[in-house]
Amino acid sequence: MYIKQVIIEGFKSYKEQIATEEFSPQHNCVVGANGSGKTNFFHAIRFVLSDLFHNLRAEDRQALLHEGAGHQVLSAFVEIIFDNSDNRIPVDREEVRLRRTIGLKKDEYFLDKKHITKTEVMNLLESAGFSRSNPYYVVQQGKIASLTLMKDSERLDLLKEIGGTRVYEERRKESLKIMQDTENKRKQIIEVVQYIEERLKELDEEKEELKKYQQLDKQRRSLEYTIFDKELLDARQKLEEIEESRTRVSEKSSNMYNSVLESHERWKILEKDLKNINKELQVLVKQRETSEMQKTEALKSYAKVELDVQDVEERIKTEGRTKDEVVKELKALDREIQRSKKDLEKVKPLYEQKLLEEEEIIKGIIEREKQLSLLYQKQGRVTQFSSKAARDKWLQKEMDDLQRIHSSTIDQAKKLDGEIKLLNEEFAELMKNREARSAELQERETFIGKCQEEYTSLKVQRDELQETRKKLWKQETDLMGEIDKLKSDIVKAEKSLDHAAPGDIRRGLSSIRRICRDHNIPGVHGPICELLECDEKFFTAVEVTAGNSLFHVVVDTDEISTRIIRYLSAEKGGRVTFMPLNRVRAPKVSYPNSADVVPLLRKLKFSPHFTPAFAQVFGRTVVCRDLDVATNVARTAELDCITLDGDQVSKKGGMTGGFYDYRRSKLKLLNIIRECTKNANLKQDELEKVRNSVQEIDQRITAVISEQQKLEATRSHYKSESEQLKQDIANAKKQEASISKALGKKKKLLLNAHSQIEQLESGLATKQAEMGTELVDQLTSEEKSQLSRLNPEITQLKEKLIECKTSRMETETRKSELETALSTNLVRRQQELEAQLSAIEPESMSAELEKKQQDLRDGKVSVDGATRQLKATIEQIDKLTKQTRDLKNAKDELKALEDNYERTLQDEAKDLEQLLNKRNLLQAKREDLMKKIRDLGSLPSDAFEKYQKKSLKELHKMLHKCNEQLKKFSHVNKKALDQYVNFTEQREELHKRQAELDAGDEKIRELISVLDQRKDESIERTFKGVAKNFREAFAELVPGGHGSLVMMKRRKVDEVDEEDADEDADRNTDNEGRLEKYIGVKVKVSFTGQGETQSMKQLSGGQKTVVALTLIFAIQRCDPAPFYLFDEIDAALDPQYRTAVGNMIKRQADTSSTQFITTTFRPELVKVADRIYGVTHKNRVSRVDVITKEDALYFIEQDQSHQHE
């Protein structure tokens, strides 16, 4: 062990915190100028280690704080860091920090940053080898000089201090004080005895007259005793009767009280059941409200769907009737159309025939008129034209005009032909498209039907899934309610368990769980109570046997428990007892083989790994059938015994027992917590499965709804396409009718064009025939005949034409009527009816009806389910309401019973109080009588039987007569005899006390003799060790010289040396008057080794210093310390001795592993130092730094040169 580092802050000249570099475990030297702070550095170390700065006042503490410029220093500390690798300081650390902090109002010590007291510090240093009786491990300035000036007697006192004789002297002083007190008490006893002797002589003269008085007084006391005894016996009998009455009333009250407790417990159970039922009622009321709402919603939905079904059915019926009517009307219309078409077909040929006939007549008229016109023209050509050429020219011009008109008409006919062809193609294309659209419409209708079927199937599937989900939801709600109830029971049981365990243990267990969780500490298994299981009937025996051991925590190793204890101590987290399995050993126990005895350990269930811990707690206890068996087993087998009721018999014979409230059983509470936790975990797992099922069904319902939405979208899309196709087909039919009408018009125009072409060609042929004929003014006979025939033919043809036109117009009117009726009325109506018929979708309506009917059935199921659930809920509510009424009635009955019990208990309490008052009165009377009997004092031997047969009345007469006679002796000193006896007893007691004091005084004198002997032995033993070390150390310091210590014993006064007369004048006796055996220690040295030895008075100053240092080294070797502090011990030495001192320090540091810290102004100690520190001072602040040996020697050389100057 050695000083490793010193840290100083605010102490004297060390204002700022300085921490020295690590000291060498051998020799360390400190150099510095005067006033730099070397001594303060040594004071700082002594401030922590020694008693130099003990019991400081405020001004003393202020003086130790740094004073200088800047802010005021309010506190200071010095911390010493020790290397404790050898464990010399009894602390389990290789490095120990000891700090002392001082302020104006505080003075504190800290060991490794933990607060300790000064006494603990001193004891710690004593155990490390720092002896209070030998403070010479610190040698400060001036200590050497004081040693050189010591007298022989003072050197003896020094040896006494080192030898520890102070203890003997203190005990001798205490013994002498006791002897003095004993002597004083002995004198007082002698004086008191003399007074008692004189008083006894006076009392002896009064005894004769007193004897007569005493005879009468004995009679009186006998009579009084008999009277008191009879009254006492009567009081005791009455007390026994009262006690019996009290016992009966108490037993009855106890039974009644137990009944009240049982009733109260039953009342609490009923209250708990009532609360649970009320909770269930609240839940059921909410369920009823929910069920009513669900039923209302279901009824609303059912009514709405029912109305929808009725509406759909009505629509279906209406549409059916409409369809029948439309079909019927269509059939009639078809017949009408067919009939009209047949009529039209009949009229059309007739009309065409009339038209052809009319055209033929017109053509004949035109042809004849042309011939007639040509004849007239030919007849008038002569008058019209002057010549043939003129005529031909005019004919040619007419022919050219006709030719041009003919060409234009042919072009127009060709154009009409092309248009008719295009219209026919367009008509054929429309027919084709309409047929394709019709096929596509049929396909769409089929797909829509399939979509509706799939949609209905998915709806059924969705309804089934939703019904399953409702059941799962209800199951989930029930499970959550059960889990909440289990958790509530767990919380209640845990609270009860917390109240059953002591507060600090409860906090400790809670802290352990948190520490293990936060710091991830394995190997902690928990308290004993959580690791065992047993039959419920053994709960009481287990709890009483274990006590607080139930909460002992089982861990694998003691290292784990030590680690946790550190955290607990740091956090102040409570108190816990650990059971490390690697340290616990199971006791070896042999159990008796009896059917009435069962080892408690065998009735416990636990992991075999924990066997040592359980054997430690329960291994020495057996369960017995009853207390008699337990008593026998405890006495014969030396085992602790316990019954199932918790009554214990210790193996040492002690018995404990009584009532044990099983309702507050810790194991029962733990069992409740364990079972509830297990059930809660199972319910939680089941709840997770239900939730997963609900989630899965939700996903499936979502998928089904998504599929339904897709089908609905597809169906809507195809339905929209079907409507569009129907519209396209209707439009196509309209276009076909339009094209057909346009085609008829085009054909008629083409026919007219062809007729005009024929007329033009005929005119051209006539003009061509007239070309080149002769221009004559008269017609030929043929022409005349033709001319006369043509007019009547024309007239006849015109009349025929009129008839034909009239007939044709009638036919045309009929044809127009038929066509108009067909196109405008019949066909359009047919199209409207067909559109109306196509708009009627019986399959869609049937699907919708089926869907609505399914919804209606589902609604019916929902209504029935809601009704059933509501009915079940109402029945459950009624059932619970009835239970509530029953429980309230039971509570009222229990309350009435409790009130009756309370009234009965109050009456019995009054009876007990009356009995108690009577008992108190009788007890007071009994005590008074007993006191009177005791006050009678000693009685005559016949007093107990002499007057027993007398009655109380006779006894009172006799007592009155005796008292009258005693009045004659009123002047007698009635206490004379008692005083005589008392004084005699006091005299004997004082004589005995005096003998005891004499014996004690003799023992004390023997003790003083022993103490004086041991003191002398200690002095001799210390002197031998110091003297031996002195010789060796002096020989090392002064080569060739020798020195010794001489013990001076007491001699006759006339033989004392004159040299020592003055020294021993005041030491002939000690403080207690005892002559000392030894009077001093003389030093005899020779520095040359030749000649006579010299005493201290004969030596020079330097030689005295060498002798003083030798004495210090001798004392240190006698009682070695771990390290030494020398403050300028070489100041007064010559160079050769300084070198010798340095070599001795170096040798001792190397050989004995002792640390030295020295200060010096001389180079010799610096040269042998292992590490050198320089103390500097600037602005009234000191610093300590490591310097080289060369710098230290240079500083010393400079300092010595300044001193010489």
What's the token pair of residue 812?
Answer: 């045309």
Place of tokens 């104006």: 104
Residue 1172: the pLDDT is: 92
List pLDDT tens digits, range 1106-1135.
888 888 888 777 777 778 888 887 777 888
DSSP state letter for 987 = H
Q: Can you state the percent helix, strand and coil of the chain, rounding each to 5?
A: 70, 10, 20
| End-to-end Cα separation, the chain, in angstroms | 44
Residue 783's nearest CA partner among 367, 391, 375 is 375
* pLDDT given at position 1061: 41
Q: Read off the pLDDT band of 213 (50, 70, 90).
A: low
Residue range 23-52: average pLDDT?
85
Segment of 86-100, 197-211, 690-704, 820-834 carrying the highest mean pLDDT: 690-704
Q: How far apart are CA 724 and CA 726, in angstroms?
A: 5
Decide if pLDDT at 1066 tops 50: no
Q: What is the DSSP string of 642-662?
A: EETT--EE-TTS-EE-----G
Give the pLDDT mean for 886-911: 78
CA separation for the pair 369, 140 (Å, rounded) = 179
Distance, CA of 648 to CA of 642 (rounded, Å): 4
DSSP string, 23-73: PPSSEEEEEE-TTSSHHHHHHHHHHHHSSTT-S--HHHHHHHB---SSSPP
| C-alpha–C-alpha distance, residues 868 and 865, integer Å | 5
User: Who's near 803: CB < 8 A, 6+ residues apart?
Assistant: none
Q: What is the model's pLDDT at position 736? A: 80
Q: pLDDT tens-digit profile of 419-439?
A: 888 888 888 888 888 888 888
Q: Give pLDDT, residue 81.
A: 92
Structure tokens at 10: 């605010």
SS (H, E, C) 619-641: CCEEEECCHHHHHHHHHHHCCEE
Give yes or no for a contact between 579 and 615, defined as CB atoms under 8 angstroms apart: no
377 vs 698, higher pLDDT: 698
Share of the chain above pLDDT 70, in %: 87
Which pairs from 881-887 meet CB under 8 Å and 24+ separation? 881/281, 883/277, 884/274, 884/277, 884/278, 884/281, 887/270, 887/273, 887/274, 887/277
Angle formed at CA 309 by CA 305 and CA 315, multiple of 5 degrees: 140
Confidence of residue 30 (pLDDT cuts 50, 70, 90): very high
The two beta strands, 107-111 and 114-116, are antiparallel
Contact 393, 702 (CB under 8 A): no
Judge whether 581 and 613 are in contact, CB under 8 Å: yes
Which position has the higher pLDDT, 764 or 164? Answer: 764
**Mean pLDDT, rounded, for 21-40:** 88
Judged by DSSP in three states, 946 sits in coil
- For the ranges 620-629, 750-759, 869-878, 925-934, the lowest mean pLDDT is seen at 925-934
Cα separations (Å) of 856 from 301, 302, 308, 499? 9, 6, 9, 61
Tokens at 648, concatenated:
């214990």
Tokens of 420: 């008719």
Q: How far apart are CA 861 and CA 483, in angstroms?
A: 31
Task: Say how far apart CA 494 and CA 487 lie, in whole Å.
Answer: 10
Quickly list DSSP for 518-556.
HHT---EEEEHHHH-EE-GGGHHHHHHHHGGGGGPEEES
Tokens of 506: 């409860």
Asked if 1136 contacts 1168 with a C-beta cutoff of 8 angstroms, the reply is no
C-alpha torsion 870→871→872→876, nearest 10: 100
State residue 843 phi and psi, 5-degree precision.
-65, -45
Q: What is the pLDDT of residue 1109?
A: 82
d(CA 1169, CA 786): 182
Cα-based torsion angle of the residue sequence 779, 785, 788, 789 in order, rounded to the nearest 10 degrees:
-140
- Which pairs with CB-CB distance under 8 Å and at least 24 residues apart come from 597-604? 597/622, 597/623, 597/624, 597/625, 597/629, 597/633, 597/641, 598/622, 598/623, 599/623, 600/538, 600/541, 600/542, 600/545, 600/642, 603/534, 603/535, 603/538, 604/532, 604/533, 604/534, 604/538, 604/542
SS (H, E, C) 180-234: HHHHHHHHHHHHHHHHHHHHHHHHHHCHHHHHHHHHHHHHHHHHHHHHHHHHHHH
Kindly state the DSSP code that residue 21 receives in the 8-state scheme: P
Q: What is the largest CA-CA distance in the chain?
A: 238
Q: What angle do CA 413, 418, 424 make, to 5 degrees?
A: 125
Q: What is the pLDDT of residue 832?
A: 73
Q: Which amino acid is at 123?
A: N
Which residues have CB under 8 Å from 1026's CB, separation 6+?
Answer: 159, 162, 1045, 1111, 1114, 1115, 1118
Please enumerate in sequence order all residues whose Cβ is within 8 A of that of 791, keeping only pairs 6 or more positions apart, or say none: 372
Residue 949 pLDDT grade (very low, low, confident, very high; cuts 50, 70, 90) = confident
Task: From 146, 954, 1009, select the one nearest 1001 (Cα to Cα).
Answer: 1009
Q: What is the mean pLDDT of the chain?
A: 79
Which of the listed ranges 198-207, 580-589, 897-906 does the model predict with the highest average pLDDT?
A: 580-589
Cβ contact 511:574 at 8 Å = yes
106 secondary structure, DSSP code: -
Strands 95-103 and 75-83, sheet pairing: antiparallel
The answer to whether residue 1068 scores a pLDDT higher than 50 is no
pLDDT of residue 1056: 42
Say if residues 829 and 333 touch (Cβ distance below 8 Å).
yes
User: Could you give phi then psi for residue 1188, rounded to 5 degrees?
Assistant: -80, 165
Query: Measured between alpha carbons, how far is 368 from 1187 in angstroms, rounded to an integer?
Result: 165
Nearest to 164 by CA among 1019, 1120, 1007: 1019
Q: Does the pLDDT of residue 345 top 60, yes or no?
A: yes
- 272-304: pLDDT as tens digits: 778 888 877 888 788 778 878 878 887 888 788
Helix residue ranges per DSSP H, 771-826? 781-820
pLDDT at 1120: 75
d(CA 279, CA 273): 10
Model pLDDT, residue 937: 67
Instruction: Decide if pLDDT at 149 tops 80.
Output: no
**Which one of 137-141, 903-907, 1001-1005 scores highest in mean pLDDT?**
1001-1005
Asked whether the predicted pLDDT for residue 940 surpasses 70, the reply is: no
Give the strands of the sheet with 640-643, arranged side by side: 597-599, 621-624, 640-643, 648-649, 655-656
At 1064 the pLDDT is: 45
